[in-house]
Amino acid sequence: MHFSTSVWLSLLLPALEATAQAVPKQNYTCTNFMVKVPVNNVTVVVPPIPELPDQYAATAFANQITLRTPSAPDVNLTTLTKTFNISAEYCTPAKSGPKASTLHILTHGLGFNRSYWDFYLPGKPNDARYSYINSAISAGYSTLSWNRLGIEPSTIADPYTEIQGPVEIALLVGLTTLARAGNISQVPVPQKVIHVGHSFGSELSVSLASVAPDITDGVVLTGYSAISNYSTFFVANSALHFANVNQPKRFPPRTYSSGFLTWPDKYGNQYSFFAYPYFDPAVLDRAEATKYPFTFGEFLTMSALPLDAPNFEGPVLYLASQEDLIFCASNCTGLFGPDSAAVQSFNSSSSVETYLQPNAGHGLNLHFNATGAYKVILDWADRHGF
């Protein structure tokens, strides 16, 4: 095997930004609550195979997903009507200005809970350098973040038949509709709503713009390129470990069946989510210790998400991490031009801007310069009148 000199040099670079400035936590209030969100007659996929009986079967499913010659399996469809409990948090500036009536609805990706948007190292509660929420509040905005379905204390639903993409889209649509209607008592009716996503949360945000374009005013997509080719690296690196064996104390088998899956360890986490040397190893440790599983049902329905939004007319920002593994095979350069799938997905949008954040991997918010990326997003919001 041969590596070019520049690759070796970058591997040897010291963590130059380890001394980056702490970001002070702003003075603001947040409210935690549960919302009951109904989903009505959503089309779901009947799993075409029995529940994964053992780890060998789960790993073999990883081989199936990453096959050179994929084919859509024959599946039966059914519908789901149910009300789920969704854990959410509303934050708003202590001193409310005009921007506080713009609500950023924050949807996290696979492997996290909503603390992805509000990440702190243990023992450093006042160092907000990884908190999107703190930056958004500093810029005057309000935020609503939520734990997706299956992420406690939101309902830990069935990972085969219920925790599926179409159900999660319906929940994001439902949560947004409730907030806009003033039906969440903790959330004042917003004047404008921006959907901000990370990775799978970006896919859900695009899907919302596709199926319900009238309930969003702007879309910000991080950790997402609209190219699914490279997500096979994530699946291969994960090898679809059972969460209930990988972290049995946090994910006991009585609550987390074989449909809840994860990657093996912190180096697997690094490979998929982090660009070296642009992160603090303590952040990687914390991310691994607080990770959450993804589900069989989410992979079963990955190709069923409506990832084109031709009827959405508002502005869109793609904020990609330059070294994103999952959506760019660690090099996003060239994947966001005018003819790219990313830009073409929003062919009626008033404006589609794309920006490559340097020195960051897929887990954008967990890198040294996360606040640099937040500033790009918040400046975009300001320029577009939010």
Ligand X SMILES: *[C@@H]1O[C@H](CO)[C@@H](O)[C@H](O)[C@H]1NC(C)=O
Binding site for ligand X (CB under 6 A): 27, 41, 43, 46, 48, 74-76, 79, 84-85, 94, 113-115, 147, 155, 177-178, 181, 183, 227, 229, 290, 308, 310, 331, 333-334, 347, 357-359, 369, 372-373, 376
Which residues are 139's β-sheet partners? none
Cβ nearer to ligand X, comparing 55 with 250: 250
Cβ nearer to ligand X, comparing 93 with 218: 93
Query: Could you tell me where the beta strands, DSSP code E, fall in 297-377?
Result: 315-321, 351-357
Cβ nearer to ligand X, comparing 42 with 261: 42
Least separation in angstroms between CB 348 and ligand X: 6
CB 121 within 8 A of CB 115: no
Cβ nearer to ligand X, comparing 55 with 376: 376
Which residues are 93's β-sheet partners? 28
Which residues are 30's β-sheet partners? 91
Least separation in angstroms between CB 183 and ligand X: 4
Residues 6+ apart with CB under 8 A from 262: 111, 238, 241, 242, 243, 246, 247, 291, 293, 294
Least separation in angstroms between CB 148 and ligand X: 11
Cβ nearer to ligand X, comparing 129 with 195: 129
Cβ nearer to ligand X, comparing 248 with 358: 358
Cβ nearer to ligand X, comparing 114 with 195: 114
Least separation in angstroms between CB 386 and ligand X: 19
Tokens 């607080």 appear where?
290
Cβ nearer to ligand X, comparing 119 with 141: 119
- Residue of 179, 166, 168, 182 lying closest to 215 (CA atoms): 179
Residue type at position 277: P
Least separation in angstroms between CB 55 and ligand X: 23
Give the Cα separation of 159 and 165 in Å (integer): 11
Give the Cα separation of 19 and 375 in Å (integer): 20
Least separation in angstroms between CB 94 and ligand X: 5
Cβ nearer to ligand X, comparing 55 with 127: 127
CB 199 within 8 A of CB 362: yes
Give the Cα separation of 107 and 195 in Å (integer): 8
CB 154 within 8 A of CB 289: no
Residue nearest to ligand X (CB): 372
Least separation in angstroms between CB 345 and ligand X: 7
Cα distances from 264 to residues 61, 169, 235, 282, in angstroms, run 16, 28, 11, 18
Instruction: Please count the CA atoms within 13 angstroms of the CA of 115 that sit on its side-chain side.
Output: 19
Least separation in angstroms between CB 333 and ligand X: 4
Give the Cα separation of 350 and 319 in Å (integer): 17
Least separation in angstroms between CB 123 and ligand X: 14
